[in-house]
Amino acid sequence: MWGRIFERTIRHIIRRGTLHVTLPDGRTFTAGDGNAPEIAVRITDPSLLRRIVLLPDMGLGEGYMDGGLTIEGDDIRGLLELGVSNIWADNHLRLNGPAHRIRQRLRAVDQWNTARRARANVAHHYDLSAELYDIFLDRDRQYSCAYFLHDTDTLEEAQEQKKAHIAAKLLLEPGMRVLDIGCGWGGMALTLARDHGAHVTGVTLSEEQHAIATRRAAEAGLADRCDFRLMDYRALDGTFDRIVSVGMFEHVGVPHYDEYFGRVHDLLPEDGIALIHTIGRCGPPGTTSAWIAKYIFPGGYVPALSEMSAAFERAGLTATDVEVWRLHYAKTLRHWDDRFVAGIEKARALYDDRFCRMWRFYLIACEMTFRYGGQVVFQAQLARDKAQVPITREYLYPHPLEREMARAAE
């Protein structure tokens, strides 16, 4: 029975391109229009037929990780591109079955991120071996979307451009006190201290990140201007001239949005400015992939702009600028996967083959969702007083005459 249901499901999804499938009983079928790209898969675990039909992301991800589903040439990139591009080609093909509706009802439970649970969620992902992140991140360990001004930008260049763009939106002045919520390995804080003369307090729940950020500050001679704390942002007191948060809001959880933006409001003075950089969804509120929630980011959720904006409005914050980055994260993730593949033997020595398949599935599935699906990046610049930010975006970009002069000087 499940073989027939599985075949109908795959034929319904794959309309463009070609997918050849060999089932556990040896039977084969082909879905699609016969055109390129052409991908061939073999399923040897009979339970995957049911699991993929009922919860496609979990069944496919676990099947690839555990070896019950193999791809000709191990072309996981080709399979995920074929699948995700077809799912998002037409609205009616999006996978919104019973399992999805159940997850919607349970999302408040999944995202109930108390301080203790938030620490455990962070440890699951960010306290992995530091050597793993050395394999695929840039030198500054920026684990968030880079900003590509040109298609030829290297990952290092694009990450520097991301930090510069955020710094410009913060309208920094030397000596300002800056709070970095979810400071990661310290790259943003170190940049704001070194290049802009800020005094930065960075908070993280990851012991590994805290240790590395503290060491980096000492090695850079910035320990007097960068104070990294292993603590929950909700336990902070005082005020900060500026607040920045890059890639952390995805871990807050919808039940805690009011709490989050309430703290941002209370930690800012009347003339303060905050910049919240987060992955976002183009459409209405949704749910987190079951596979991502289990293996990669437990407790995580990508917000709709409507969910974010309603929460910061209730907190008494004004949006002074909202910018949407579209394909920048797809480019970033492609760089990360290329680097991971180049260093996969190092990753295999740290963990095992199953982990490497899991990590590639994660990087490529996310890339395809940004490339073909409904995920983008939101940068929300917020203030208690809307007059604290210039009334145009000219301060972010060089004047056209300055650009011409710069090009002439090159």
Positions annotated as catalytic residues are: 366
DSSP secondary structure letter of residue 394: G
Return the HEC string of 40-72: EEEECCCHHHHHHHHCHHHHHHHHHHHCCEEEH
Sequence-ordered alpha helix ranges (H) in 171-315:
187-196, 207-219, 257-267, 290-295, 305-314
Q: How many CB atoms lie within 10 A of CB 328?
A: 20
Beta pairing partners, 245: 276
Sign, CA torsion 95/61/361/292: positive
Phi/psi at 111 (5° precision): -105, 20
Which are the contacts of 46, defined by CB distance < 8 A and separation ≥ 6?
2, 24
Phi/psi at 220 (5° precision): -85, 0
Q: What is the token pair recorded at 172?
A: 């920094």
Q: How many CB atoms lie within 10 A of CB 256?
A: 20
Sequence-ordered alpha helix ranges (H) in 146-275:
155-170, 187-196, 207-219, 257-267
Q: What is the token pair recorded at 368?
A: 């395809």
